Structure 1
Amino acid sequence: MSACGLDFGTSNTTLGTSMDGAPVLTELEVGHTTIPSAIFYERDGAVLIGRKAIETYVEGAPGRLMRSLKSVLGTTLIDETTKVGRERASFRDVIAYYLGVVKRRAERAVGHELRYVVHGRPVHFVDQAPEADRKAEQTLQDIAQEIGFDDVTFQFEPIAAALDYERGISGEQIALIADIGGGTSDFSIVRLSPEQHRKADRKSDILANDGVRIGGTDFDRQLSLGVVMPLFGYGSEMKRAGLHAPSSYFHDLATWSTINSMYDPKVMTQVRQVRYEAAQPELFDRLVRVLDEQRGHTLAMEVEEAKIALSDQRQADIPLGWIEPGLGAAIARSGLVTHTKQLATRIAARIKMCLEQAELNAGDIDVVFLTGGSVRLAHVRKAIVAALPAAQIIEGDTFGAVGKGLTIEAAQRYGAY
């Protein structure tokens, strides 16, 4: 079958094909059906993606790491260029290179060309900006055709997750699908049943769709600003009474998609000037070291690892001894909640909007199906559950449900191709 389902995620990507009537995710790296949405440009011109890209960066190889590639869709960054090795490339071209490699790996794995794709997409790439949302989808469609797909269609990611969940149910249900990913949080209310599963047209079963541009990377940013960035001068005072250090540098360094902008020579000159005028220049010495060594992604990954660890334990350490001997930060789960509670609240608020759109009450929802890496955050899950206290909670395939659902959709749309 030459059709596939492609889930290009902010944090991870999957691609699936149908085998013997069932969706199967392709092995995109040895032993893995998920591949991190990351790319590393080595200074000698080599380009790596996925785990190898991250490992090479962490090992200290000179070059440029880029993660959370999907988050630039729908923004003005998509057509801007960034330095990669000895060249400059647009973010659009970076995404095209990454997805092109994913497609070729999948084709080698399945043994034939993939010509048709159902691409996953969030309900909203950009909040309350229909034109930017349209351009984001068009950009993905253009890229997909550029890398060799003859036909490209789209499906909302939570609807895809619903199709995967529906394979295992025995009776009709009204389900709310919560897909809390790396870049967005998306919700759908869908009428599901075994009898409807193979129907090509399911429009009448989709009762509501809504979403918000908040995901795991936003939790990383808020945690970084609350715990790590103060160690580098965020919120500190300047020598001149009443002034504080400019905050924009720290926000950019704490945001996955803008970390590389901090390595611009003009920005680094500005940071050194701020250090000269700071009341605590030793804090900015740490910041300058991170920028000189281009290790902003190392900071972000350590914050991300601490966030993930707090899903299972009450406290996590963020080691920063590579910057300064003995430097580090400890974060308790309660601290994570404090710094990100507003994000969890905003995510859960979309459930009420979905219910209103579907003209349903909370008690009408039979099941909440959870997928996406950020549902592992206890306070996010708690906020979702609290909005629908009577519904049964079902855990989905955290990183695979959307990809499998897109593959089911591809088989239905493209038939025997």
Structure 2
Amino acid sequence: MSAHPARACGIDFGTSNSTVGWLRPGAATLLALEGDKATLPSAVFFNADEETTHFGRDALAEYLEGYEGRLMRALKSLLGSSLMDGSTEVGGRALRFRDLLASFIGQLKTRAESQAGRPFEQAVFGRPVHFVDDNEVADRRAQDTLEAIARQVGFSEVSFQFEPIGAALHYEAGLDREELVLIADIGGGTADFSLVRLSPERAGRTDRRDDLLGNAGLHVGGTDFDRALSLECVMPLLGYRGLMKNGVEIPSNLFFQLATWHTINFAYTRQAFADFQHIYRDAAARRELDRLARLIGQREGHWLALQVEQAKIDLSSGVTTLLQLDRLEAGLTHGISREDFSAATRNLVERVAATVGSLLDQAGVAREKVDTLYFTGGASGVPQLRARIAAELPQAHCVEGDLFGSIGAGLAMEAARRYG
């Protein structure tokens, strides 16, 4: 490490959580962004009662305290989507999604500079291997949009590094021998993999292209696990897969909106309410739809999504969890088991495993040649997902990195290398 602080920072703008890393002697790499916490949840709450804007844990706390307003999460998922050029209503006015992202990334910059006691004009941003699956034009547009937003908030020089490579650089700093490593970075929005040769000697090289044997990724992450768990185990309590009087299933669009973070507010529009009233008149599942009516009427969609997210977390460490759903119906509880969670997410897990297998095949690397499987990203803690990936590499030693910090720390190293 240089005897002087780096000029630039590394920014991991994540779907669920974000970090900023800055390499300087004798100090932690990650900067505190909210109190003493190095992570800032990627959430914004517009408080309509007090006409204030809140970020991170503060945003979630304001929402849960019951203030009127708009909670936005999974902001990164907007990049590369058709929503990016649109807007949403906040406090009776239109707010462009592009400006929403700028407000959050501007906060990352402001908070990092406050902690560092100096401005940052250069930054290396992490990016998923694919912002958008199987669409190079849309993928490039997503990166260009993020770069334009970064410049809008005050960065004069912006470059990018794949997020799993950032994690690889962080892991490599602690190695004492060469390893062939599969980096598994599974965050809130994407699952990304890099197969890379790492060693103390290789760490000093400027050009690492020969060490990178392959990258692969897909748009599956923690929010997808939340959605699958919600649809399979919670939304049936609200009428999902219930029946109309004529025997056909209740239309599912509203349930999918409520199970997906960045579309929850669409369930509160006049059109959505008119559609719901039409369904209610002809539905057989009245008790469940009464709960749904209460959820929509009280705008409790984000509250329910938080309960589902917590259930996912609980089931990653325990075998059962009990949801307290009294806001939907007095005394309502609902138990979910890890087996339920595994069944709900089986297709997602298999898609991720297939991506790992494809990467190894394309790189021409035999499974038994991989020394280490390195996990980072919050969703890599989902047990059925971790076990399935590990099954692809039966000889590899599994290592758990800093699930929320290794990418930001590695990007800080890359920023110091690129900008001094």
TM over 0.5: yes
- Match of 1:150? 156
Contact 2:13 2:76 in 1 (8 A): yes
Give deviations 1:79-135, integer Å, cap 9, x for gaps: 111111232111111010011011101101100101001000000011101111011
- Counterparts of 1:76-225 in structure 2, within 5 Å, are 76-225=82-231
Relative to the length of structure 2, the TM-score reads: 0.97
C-alpha RMSD over aligned residues: 1.1
Distance 1:408 1:23, change over 3 A: farther
Give the distance between the partners of 2:97 and 2:297, measured in 1 at CA: 23
Contact 1:200 1:413 in 2 (8 A): no
Give deviations 1:189-213, integer Å, cap 9, x for gaps: 0011101213222111111000010
- Match of 1:374? 379
Aligned to 1:388, which of 390, 393, 396? 393
- How many residues matched? 414
Contact 1:9 1:70 in 2 (8 A): yes
- Counterparts of 1:236-251 in structure 2, within 5 Å, are 236-239=242-245, 241-251=246-256
Contact 2:225 2:345 in 1 (8 A): yes
Residue 24 of structure 1: how far off its partner (Å): 0.7
Uncovered stretches (5+) of structure 2, i.e. residues with no partner: 1-5
Identity value in percent: 47
- Counterparts of 1:220-299 in structure 2, within 5 Å, are 220-239=226-245, 241-299=246-304
Residue 311 of structure 1: how far off its partner (Å): 1.3
| Greater mean alpha carbon deviation, residues 280-289 or residues 343-352 | 280-289
Output the amino acid matched with 1:101. Q
Residue 22 of structure 1: how far off its partner (Å): 7.3
Give the distance between the partners of 1:339 and 1:198, measured in 2 at CA: 45
Give the distance between the partners of 1:101 and 1:180, measured in 2 at CA: 24
Give deviations 1:299-346, integer Å, cap 9, x for gaps: 111001011001111100111112211212110001100110111111
Contact 1:2 1:112 in 2 (8 A): no
SS state at 1:398 partner: coil
- Match of 1:337? 342
Relative to the length of structure 1, the TM-score reads: 0.97
SS state at 2:335 partner: strand
Give the distance between the partners of 2:255 and 2:333, measured in 1 at CA: 17
Contact 1:73 1:139 in 2 (8 A): yes
Contact 2:193 2:217 in 1 (8 A): yes
Output the amino acid matched with 2:346. K
SS state at 1:6 partner: strand
Uncovered stretches (5+) of structure 1, i.e. residues with no partner: none
Give the distance between the partners of 2:297 and 2:104, measured in 1 at CA: 27
Contact 2:83 2:97 in 1 (8 A): yes
Question: Are residues 1:15 and 2:5 paired?
Answer: no
Give the distance between the partners of 1:119 and 1:21, measured in 2 at CA: 24
